[in-house]
Amino acid sequence: MRPLEGIKVVAFEHAIAAPFCTRQLGDLGARVIKVERPGTGDFARNYDERVSGLASHFVWTNRSKESITLDVKQPAAIEVMHKLLADADVFVQNLAPGATQRLGLDYEALRERYPRLIVCDISGYGLDGPLRDKKAYDLLIQSESGFLSITGADGQPAKAGCSIADIAAGMYGYTNILAALIERGRTGRGRHIDISMLESMVEWMSYPLYYAIDGQTAPRQTGASHATIFPYGPFKAGDGKIVMLGLQNEREWKIFCEIVIRRPELTLDARFNSNSRRVENREDLAQIIAHAFSTLTASQVIDRLEEAGIANARMNDMHAVWTHEQLAARRRWTQVRTPAGDIPALCPPGIDLADDPRMDPVPALGQHTDPILLELGYSAHQIGRLRETGAV
């Protein structure tokens, strides 16, 4: 039995944050019913066509779900929503601020009617405050949270290459829902969860915030290098390939000098005798390391790092990750069905393959509308009427 089998989740969701949250609930066995607009559906369905005509974001965040289309501006569709919520455990939404209030589907409107229901609202800035109604996309929250101020190099910020603010919000939605389910098991009562993308990202920014507390200088923009530890980041080998490495303490610095760059005298150099000094003199030390690596291939550098017990990594591109030997050895890839055929998918982190993680198909738009309506007690004639009026 999967951990969340028997849990029913209804989701008013689009883009990434809420779908990523509910997909993970689905991974654990929850039934996730995704409510979409008739005709167009979740706009993330059309972000690109990279996966045999399907959108890369969508297939990532929407497996193991059922899709029902509802035009919630129509009373008949709102009636369907209430039938869906009548035995639901969790309601997740990330519509525009105020949308569920206007529909009478916000927590305050639902709490008395469905006292066991857990309602999770995911928004850019939270459900109150002066920026409540401000539009919020991932890159904008990366900027607003201060994340962009410490990325990039030479005064040029660089966004994270994946939807980090959406992912942060989705993860906090997911973990808070799991906690609320445990709490409800003790109290019998549901709970309201208000997830803000801004707050999620600011929590992840706590280290640089504390580093800059009381007006102190913020971490420098140092590209892929660590802003406050050195050497820690990318270094080019003689064959032009990049090796990532990281030192954590003075013991590792001594070994690095002796075994990796073979300059043991540097351990006595006052410029480099503490991490703070190495950060202050990073340009000088970077030149020394570059010279030491210039006659070595990336593989030779990694061999020396491994011999010294220094943490290191290759700078893989997407093609290398698809064929990563560690993921293959641990059998972390499987297949998921989509309307365009089977695609590879990573097994959910933390779930043992012996537990048979749920990896059900990515749904076509409205694929489950009729079966769900029949389950809710609608007759074939009534479903036909709903289709005629555009309610589904």
Tokens of 179: 């906690």
CA dist 46 and 316 (Å) reads: 28
**Token digits for 22?**
């509910």
Contact 34, 363 (CB under 8 A): yes
Whole-Å CA distances, 267 to 129, 177, 258: 53, 51, 9
Pairing of strands 118-123, 90-93: parallel
- Tokens (6 digits) for 203: 């929590």
Distance CA 245, CA 314 (A): 9
What is the C-alpha to C-alpha distance for residues 105 and 117, in angstroms, rounded to an integer?
12
d(C-alpha 60, C-alpha 57), whole Å: 5
- Quick one: tokens of 135? 């539009």
Is 71 noted as a catalytic residue in this protein?
Answer: no
Helix ranges (DSSP H) in the chain: 17-27, 56-61, 75-85, 99-103, 107-110, 138-144, 164-187, 197-204, 206-211, 250-255, 275-280, 282-293, 298-308, 318-322, 325-329, 369-375, 380-389
Amino acid (1-letter code) at residue 229 = I
C-alpha to C-alpha distance for 63 and 53, rounded to whole angstroms:
16
Residue 112 burial (10 A CB sphere; 0-12, 13-18, 19+) = exposed
Find the catalytic residue in 166, 214, 284, 303. Answer: 166
In a 3-state reduction of DSSP, which class is residue 217? coil
User: Alpha carbon of 114 to those of 72, 87, 117, 186, 323: distances in Å?
Assistant: 19, 8, 5, 17, 47
Active site (catalytic) residues? 166
